[in-house]
Amino acid sequence: TQLLEQSPQFLSIQEGENLTVYCNSSSVFSSLQWYRQEPGEGPVLLVTVVTGGEVKKLKRLTFQFGDARKDSSLHITAAQPGDTGLYLCAGVPTGGGNKLTFGTGTQLKVEL
């Protein structure tokens, strides 16, 4: 079983649309991070959330950590082609030996 499940796995939308990506687990995490990976590049950290219920905004991106610290969501408003990429959530499970575990990923394509 995968510790961190992301949905949807693939998403293709038009420019200007809104979307939400989910990261779910049955485990509790002390912190959770979101990364974006563009083709030919390594993942780049977007945000870290550490408090249950925490909401962070990064321009058109809104990140939320679930109250129970088991899940997170990423909402993009008015998507642009530059948002295209692989979105990865990653977390450090409580009692998980300080190991960062990555989710299954969501491949987003935003078309003109």
Binding stretches for another protein (CB under 8 A): 2, 4, 30-31, 40-45, 48, 50, 88, 90, 92, 98-105
User: Which residue, 44 or 58, has its beta carbon nearer to another protein?
Assistant: 44
User: Which residue, 4 or 79, has its beta carbon nearer to another protein?
Assistant: 4
β 44-49/29-37 pair status = antiparallel
User: Which residue, 21 or 79, has its beta carbon nearer to another protein?
Assistant: 21
Q: Nearest Cα to 76, choosing from 91, 87, 90, 65?
A: 87
Shortest gap between Cβ of 71 and another protein (angstroms)? 16
CB 39 within 8 A of CB 56: no
β 61-65/55-58 pair status = antiparallel
